[in-house]
Amino acid sequence: MQRVCIVGGGIGGLVLGMALDKCKKYDVIVYEKYELKTDAGSGMSLIGNSLFMLQSLGVDVKKVSKMINNVQLITHDDHLLFQVPTDIDPDCVAEFGSVQVNVHRGELHAELLSKYKGAIVFGKQFTNYRRDADGKIRVQFDDGSEDTCDLLVGADGVYSQVRTCLLHSSIVEYSGFVSFRGILDRYTDDISDHLRMVKTVTYKQDNNSYVYGFISKNRIFWAFDIELDQGTKIDNKQVKAFLKERMKYMNPMFYKIVEQTEKIIQTDICDKTPTFRKYEDGVVLIGDACHPVVHHFGQGACMAIEDAIRLTKCLNETSDINKALRLYISYQWRNSLIVYISRIAGWMFVYNNWIINSALYLALAFPFNQIIVTMMKFLLFNTNRDLKHYMRQF
């Protein structure tokens, strides 16, 4: 039985471990650098096919998710710019009530850990790997210990150490903005009337920010992206006042959401120009380790899940690991395209000037918005549909 070492016990790493375990063909172990994976404290979207894949693995998606009433793009003063049609994927709407659901990252991770029955080791920091004379891969850790495997999978996120060793570069590209995020489980009645998902674009030159609120029954996931120098950290005692000053052109509802949030986290948002050199003999990357992406297209977690299932499918189609990796990499064109689309969307939402905003208005107006709908349907729902059907055999 071939041995697979997965570096990174996040969403992608655990989904891959669960899928490979179900195949009964591999000896799988997951290594996670933290003693216990901490609660990320933020919300995220799961869209389309990834929902069915999780469900096929035994994950109770409906238990950990919040259905949203609709997905809208609006202006700072609540003018509707665009709404995602609910018929873009009827199967998804019929099963989950929407084309996407919102989840607390920590709660989804806890659910994955509870369902994963394979081997996992916490507190192991991957440092490097080398290939032995017999073709095996020797995996090295910071405590001096080693493991040997036939396949090494880097699922260790944006700042992947496996990617650094594979590509001999750790560079990711700063997007130019910091994301401030929070979760609100209890809020006043004047907020609870807004049961929807909104993405809000500002149009003031001195308010270069993009706000969106994932609003569903009894829970609000929100994020506020602001153009700042990389590494900028706002003191916790000052962060609410700082955000509210930058929200001065927003709907007052957002003031209240920020004011009532207890914990606000700050994250530099980075991505990486796609490269097709994402594997070598017996070593491959998935998820953010493979294709770091900004969050404006809502696909980071979905791509990690779909990467894991795609890699599982490729490994099951041949006993030759390197042939399977070549097949897996051949599908990466779609993820590379999403990286660029997400980057463009981020520019259009965050950097406000009359040229960008006019282009955004034009793109969202009929009939041009049908191009966006067609693109979304192809990339987010039709592509990788075979993985949804493949997973049903489990």
pLDDT digits (tens, 9 = 90+) for 308-359: 999 999 999 998 999 999 999 999 899 999 999 999 888 877 776 778 778 8
pLDDT value at position 44?
84
pLDDT at 286 over 90: yes
Of residues 184 and 112, more confidence is placed in 112
- The answer as to whether 69 is a domain residue is yes
Can you give the C-alpha Rg of the chain in angstroms? 21
- The answer as to whether 13 is a domain residue is yes
Of residues 374 and 352, more confidence is placed in 374
How far, in Å, CA of 52 to CA of 352, rounded?
A: 37
CB 85 within 8 A of CB 214: no
pLDDT value at position 215?
60
- The answer as to whether 246 is a domain residue is no
Percent of the chain residues past pLDDT 90, beyond the cut: 45
3-state helix, strand, coil in the chain (%, to 5): 40, 25, 35
Q: How far is CA 42 from the centre of its chain?
A: 11
CA dihedral for 364, 65, 286, 177, sign (positive or negative): positive
pLDDT value at position 348?
78
- Exposure of 252 in the CB half-sphere (CA atoms within 13 A): 1
- The answer as to whether 286 is a domain residue is yes
Count how many domains the chain has.
1
- Predicted TM-score (pTM) of the model is 0.93
- The answer as to whether 216 is a domain residue is no
Residue 294: CATH number of its domain: 3.50.50.60
- The answer as to whether 230 is a domain residue is no
- Weakest mean pLDDT among 38-52, 95-109, 311-325, 360-374: 38-52
| Residue 186 Cα distances to 13, 45, 191, 235, 346, angstroms | 32, 20, 10, 24, 30
Range of the domain at 97: 2-172+272-391
- The answer as to whether 340 is a domain residue is yes
- Cα dihedral 12/13/15/18 (nearest 10): 170
pLDDT digits (tens, 9 = 90+) for 159-202: 999 999 998 877 899 988 899 998 888 887 777 655 566 666 65
- The answer as to whether 366 is a domain residue is yes
Question: Beta strand 71-75 with 197-201: parallel, antiparallel or unpaired?
Answer: parallel
Give 325's strand partners.
none
